[in-house]
């Protein structure tokens, strides 16, 4: 039944979307004045990353008549974490959120899901299956005709003072250069760095531990004692996956004395926060984000139950790992409550800005202004993660630490998680991804127009399509006027 439904309903949805776009006059015709450098064409905008943020940005730009090209290092259909490293069963976001739909009802996940599985299935759905979300994003890319170059790895980004950004791109065995006027980094949760692990991880054999964001064959953990460091959503996901794969035991080692119960960030969600946060004074931005970090986000209800239903799962609260070592082939994790013995450790310890781990940003990193370069938080409200966040301009652009040292730096725009302190949660999370992408796209449209204003004015002067031909009226004489005396 579902297959038959899909066969007719999905094409009908796509036809409805085409009608919606036509009625809205979308996409706009291309209007950006083409530019070249030494005879080589420059792309209006290059987007690095073809996940949800990159696709939504490309769509928003396309609707505004701006050429964008996406490079993604992953094979087609496997961009982002959804079908690779993510281990959750469902998304935590409520199913009704419109996500990357850019205000178009026919582009929402709900419209796609009802076309695939029917309205009754939507009514029964609790949370979105992560693989269905990936399938939806594949459809989103296809139905909008977004230009993604898969298995293309950006190895260097170099801004220049003359208005170009040079990207070195590797595809298969070939390396080539691309010239862009603007570059958007839609590089996800680890956008300007990578996964973070505590220092004691380096004392353990590398083959005996992984980060929750690593690709890992969980089948190899069958029969092993697995310790998971952390108590957030990814910790629950990987612990449950390990136990489901047959791990002999799963110890969650949680620093806090209790798991957080309330998602404070969700409590602040509103159009006011989405559109007003980036205009707040710095002190308020820091206060909000530091509070969310300090309170922490609880793991999802379902994810936690997924772990606790295993009798060999153990929640060890108030149990930070103080040091680690290997003894007689076993891993010993010393905690205030004693030594946890494991065969394999998974660190669910998040991500940090770390330019040393991202050589493609080496030309940018020394010159970026970070929040720690200009903002001093109140005593007691220090936060190393926030301090390392880039201090972004109104169009998510990087800014120079020392003005004039790296001309062209502002042509690179940070539309990934580290933008959250400057702009709020609009550059990676599902709830406000459309608003963030539209803010970015409109800002880029403004900048591109201003750069080409001479050509746009000249085009206006040349414009000569008449609306009146001169034969629509006859000049009358003045015989009916009263003579002036």
pLDDT of 21 above 70: yes
Q: What angle do CA 467, 470, 473 make, to 5 degrees?
A: 110
For the chain, the first-to-last Cα distance in angstroms comes to: 91
Q: Is the pTM of this model over 0.85?
A: yes
Q: Residues 223, 248: contact at Cβ < 8 Å?
A: yes
Q: Residues 286, 424: contact at Cβ < 8 Å?
A: no
Which residues, 6 or more positions from 338, have their beta carbon under 8 angstroms from its beta carbon?
none
> How far is it, in rounded angstroms, from Cα 134 to Cα 43?
28
Cα Rg for the chain, rounded, in angstroms? 27
pLDDT of 284 above 60: yes
3-state secondary structure 218-256: HHHHCCCEEEEECCCHHHHHHHHHHHHCCCCEEEEECCC
> In this structure, are strands 40-41 and 43-48 parallel, antiparallel, or unpaired?
unpaired
pLDDT-derived band at 255 (thresholds 50, 70, 90) equals very high
Q: What is the pLDDT of residues 303-350, one digit of tens each?
A: 999 999 999 999 999 999 999 999 999 999 999 999 999 999 999 999
pLDDT of 245 above 90: yes
Look at residue 265 in the predicted model and tell me its pLDDT. Answer: 82
Mean pLDDT to the nearest integer, 229-239? 97
Which residues, 6 or more positions from 374, have their beta carbon under 8 angstroms from its beta carbon?
391
Q: Give the side-chain half-sphere CA count within 13 A for 432.
A: 25
Q: How many residues does the chain have?
A: 485
Look at residue 1 in the predicted model and tell me its pLDDT. Answer: 43
H or E stretch at 264 = helix 264-267
> How far is it, in rounded angstroms, from Cα 28 to Cα 476?
43
Which residues, 6 or more positions from 208, have their beta carbon under 8 angstroms from its beta carbon?
326, 331, 343, 344, 345
Mean pLDDT to the nearest integer, 221-232? 97
Look at residue 5 in the predicted model and tell me its pLDDT. Answer: 54
Look at residue 6 in the predicted model and tell me its pLDDT. Answer: 53
In the β-sheet with 330-335, what is the strand arrangement from edge to edge? Answer: 323-327, 330-335, 338-342
Mean pLDDT to the nearest integer, 221-233? 97
What are the DSSP E strand ranges found in 60-151? 68-72, 148-150
Look at residue 2 in the predicted model and tell me its pLDDT. Answer: 53
Q: Is cis: bond before 27, omega within 30 of 0?
A: yes
Percentage of residues of the chain with pLDDT beyond 90: 94
Three-state DSSP at 450 gives helix
pLDDT of 19 above 80: yes
pLDDT-derived band at 17 (thresholds 50, 70, 90) equals very high
pLDDT of 3 above 60: no
The secondary structure of residue 96, as a DSSP letter, is T
User: Among residues 349, 352, 87, 407, which one has the least CA distance to residue 232?
Assistant: 349
Look at residue 65 in the predicted model and tell me its pLDDT. Answer: 98
pLDDT-derived band at 447 (thresholds 50, 70, 90) equals very high
H or E stretch at 288 = helix 282-295
CB atoms within 10 A of CB 167: 22
Look at residue 268 in the predicted model and tell me its pLDDT. Answer: 77
User: Among residues 51, 49, 20, which one has the least CA distance to residue 136?
Assistant: 51
- Which of 253-262, 266-275, 374-383, 402-411 has the least mean pLDDT? 266-275
Question: Residue 69 to residues 9, 27, 43, 61, 64: CA-CA distances in angstroms?
Answer: 30, 16, 8, 10, 14
pLDDT-derived band at 165 (thresholds 50, 70, 90) equals very high
pLDDT of 7 above 80: no
- Which of 267-276, 320-329, 393-402 has the least mean pLDDT? 267-276
Task: Tokens 């206006």: give the residue.
Answer: 460
Q: What is the pLDDT of residues 182-226, one digit of tens each?
A: 999 999 988 899 999 999 999 999 999 999 999 999 999 999 999
Three-state DSSP at 289 gives helix
Q: Residues 59, 146: contact at Cβ < 8 Å?
A: yes
Mean pLDDT of the chain: 95
> How far is it, in rounded angstroms, from Cα 390 to Cα 384?
12
Look at residue 4 in the predicted model and tell me its pLDDT. Answer: 46
Three-state DSSP at 193 gives strand
124: tokens are 């029964």
Three-state DSSP at 293 gives helix
Which residues, 6 or more positions from 112, have their beta carbon under 8 angstroms from its beta carbon?
10, 13, 136, 139, 140
Question: Residue 431 to residues 173, 269, 438: CA-CA distances in angstroms?
Answer: 39, 9, 13
Question: Residue 371 to residues 8, 208, 250, 398, 421: CA-CA distances in angstroms?
Answer: 52, 36, 39, 12, 9
């Amino acid at each position: 039944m579902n297959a038959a439904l899909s066969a007719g309903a999905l094409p009908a949805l796509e036809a409805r979307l085409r009608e919606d776009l036509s009625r809205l006059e979308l996409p706009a015709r291309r209007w950006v004045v083409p530019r070249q450098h030494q005879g080589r064409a420059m792309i209006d905008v290059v987007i690095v990353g073809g996940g949800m943020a990159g696709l939504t940005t490309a769509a928003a730009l396309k609707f505004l008549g701006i050429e964008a090209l996406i490079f993604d290092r992953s094979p087609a259909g496997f961009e982002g974490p959804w079908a690779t490293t993510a281990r959750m069963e469902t998304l935590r976001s409520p199913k009704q959120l419109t996500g990357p739909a850019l205000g178009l009802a026919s582009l929402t996940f709900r419209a796609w899901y009802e076309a695939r599985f029917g309205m009754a299935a939507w009514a029964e759905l609790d949370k979105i299956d992560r693989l269905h979300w990936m399938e939806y994003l594949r459809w989103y890319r296809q139905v909008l005709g977004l230009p993604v170059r898969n298995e293309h790895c950006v190895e260097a980004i170099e801004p220049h003072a003359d208005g170009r950004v040079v990207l070195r791109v590797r595809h298969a065995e070939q390396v080539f250069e691309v010239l862009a006027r603007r570059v958007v980094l839609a590089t996800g949760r680890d956008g300007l760095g990578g996964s973070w692990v505590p220092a004691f991880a380096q004392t353990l054999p590398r083959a005996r531990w992984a980060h929750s964001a690593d690709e890992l064959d969980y089948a190899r953990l069958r029969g092993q004692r697995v310790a998971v460091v952390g108590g957030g959503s990814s910790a629950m996901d990987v612990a449950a996956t390990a136990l489901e794969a047959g791990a002999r035991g799963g110890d969650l080692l949680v620093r806090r004395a209790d798991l957080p119960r309330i998602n404070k960030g969700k409590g602040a969600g509103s159009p006011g926060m989405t559109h007003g946060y980036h205009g707040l004074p710095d002190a308020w931005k820091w206060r909000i984000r530091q509070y969310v970090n300090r309170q922490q986000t609880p793991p999802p209800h379902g994810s936690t139950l997924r772990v606790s239903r295993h009798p060999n799962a153990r929640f060890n609260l108030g149990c930070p790992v103080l040091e680690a070592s290997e003894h007689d082939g076993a891993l010993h994790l010393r905690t205030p409550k004693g030594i946890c013995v494991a065969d394999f450790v998974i660190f669910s310890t998040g991500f940090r800005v770390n330019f040393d781990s991202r050589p493609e940003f080496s030309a940018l990193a020394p010159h970026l202004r970070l929040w720690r370069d200009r903002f001093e938080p109140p005593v007691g409200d220090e936060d190393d993660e926030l301090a390392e966040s880039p201090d972004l301009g109104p169009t998510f652009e990087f800014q120079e630490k020392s003005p004039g040292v790296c001309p062209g730096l502002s042509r690179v725009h940070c539309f990934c998680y580290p933008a959250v302190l400057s702009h709020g949660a609009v550059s990676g999370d599902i709830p406000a991804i459309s608003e963030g992408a539209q803010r970015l796209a409109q800002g880029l449209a403004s900048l591109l127009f201003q750069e080409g204003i001479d050509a746009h004015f000249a085009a206006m002067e040349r414009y000569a399509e008449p609306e009146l031909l001169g034969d629509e009226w006859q000049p009358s004489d003045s015989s009916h006027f009263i003579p002036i005396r």
